[in-house]
Chains A and B, each alone.
Chain A
């Protein structure tokens, strides 16, 4: 479904991706994992065509995303759904209208049919009873579920989830894990889950990419990664505070700093 080849992307002087390759298989749940600031969300924006790489190719369903014109890109996006970390719900619309928004924008369906479709999506995420609430009346977990329902509103071929578990209580996390897994199977989706929550992501992913320092440092099925010989993978998956990723931010020797009497180089 998605092929990324030799992707190079930098923001100013800072290199985010230095020639990475990824393959997302159709029908799978693929996890992109790595520490904060590795560019996981940036990768989703590159796949969605919101950012343009310096070089390399990103192919989604046979179309090279960076080479698409604006109308072709918007056509492709109608077949993609994205759930943002913040939910990105439109705050001046109710839950119902948020989910109806993409349907009303892209189709001429009669309002009775729109209503049925929205209620079906809300039923799928368990929030049919919350259809009249405004986004500011939702808990964080409910907002994610509404965002999920909106992401599948147009029955896309692929859904990208940006940090779906961050800041959720255990029950909400469990619900989101279940929904990603079940929606992927029931709707025949391809899912890309960007996360640094190891347990939850490993529970539903078919394949995992571990990113760090602009490179893919490890990849494989979740079970195989636990057996990985890579020290970096072991540190990340087991949440060890020190290792290849050092505990201390680079600094001069502590002794020199103390003796220096507060004078900084």
Chain B
């Protein structure tokens, strides 16, 4: 009786490290499939459309609303100190350093990551991946690598678009509705947002999140139990694990970049 919980703990520990090991081997196989893709850019473009372009709408709308909320909240706080002219820099820094990469990472996991997992999982469940293997076509190169690369490339672009739209959302509320000076909004932003410290670090974050979410999404699909329940569980795991990894990595990266 006492041993039961210990056994369960041991079993889940072995299963966790087994999956972690499989995930790492899978990543190496995926990366090994990338050079061959250079000869077939059409495969990447098609996936960038379904992973990146189809995620644009949710990114644009969310970026706009997040920017508008930042404009409103920022104005209320800054106005208490008579510093409402700094609204532009506050909105831009919040977006470029944090909210752009993080919220895009979360939305990307929910929209594109789940779709990637479900698609690959269903291809496995309906024997399409086995069928490819028997046609002497390596699914790692033909299915997994293009999707992984598309996710990895799309994420920083989507994060940049999110931040840009957010800045305009803040502008619309701050300048358009609350009366902040337009020149001050842009000039403060231009003067205080640093290319190296702020923009580049934000881009690095979005690249890291893109890598992590794309990896989790394609691995969960490939490793899914080939049944409808298995694919459903894998899709849920993609969203949950991606969200946790994005938030955890964000703290680590923020500490490294801005921790001093």
Contact = CB atoms under 8 A, between A and B. Distances in A.
Interface of A: 45, 48, 50, 74-75, 77-78, 80-82, 84-86, 88-91, 101-102, 105-106, 150, 154
List 6 tightest A-B contacts by C-beta distance, closest first. A88-B131, A77-B136, A88-B127, A74-B136, A82-B134, A102-B135
B128 A88 contact: yes
Contacts of B123: 91
Nearest to A154: B135
B127 A75 contact: no
B61 interface: no
Given A77-B136, A105-B137, A91 B131 contact: no
Contact of B131 (A80, A84, A154): A84
A212 to B, nearest CB: 25
Contact of B130 (A50, A80, A105): A50
Contacts, number: 50
A150 B134 CA distance: 11
Nearest to A162: B127
B136 A84 contact: no
A196 B137 CA distance: 30
A10 to B, nearest CB: 20
A77 B135 contact: yes
Interface string B202-216: 000000000000000
Give the bracket for the number of chain B residues in contact with chain A.
10 to 19
A81 B133 CA distance: 11
- Interface centre among B128, B133, B135, B136, by most chain A C-beta atoms within 10 angstroms, is B135
Contacts of B133: 48, 50, 77
B190 interface: no
B130 to A, nearest CB: 7
Contacts of A84: 127, 130-131, 134
B126 interface: yes
Interface string B108-144: 0000000000000001001110111111111000100
Nearest to B143: A90
A154 B134 CA distance: 12
A78 B134 contact: no
A85 B128 CA distance: 11
A11 to B, nearest CB: 15
Contacts of B127: 84-86, 88
Nearest to B135: A102
- Interface centre among B126, B132, B134, B137, by most chain A C-beta atoms within 10 angstroms, is B134
A105 B138 CA distance: 10
A106 B131 contact: no
A75 B128 contact: no
Interface in B140-171: 142
Nearest to A98: B131
Given A77-B134, A101-B137, 11 more contacts: A50-B130, A50-B134, A80-B134, A82-B134, A88-B127, A88-B130, A88-B131, A89-B131, A90-B128, A91-B123, A91-B126
A42 B44 CA distance: 34
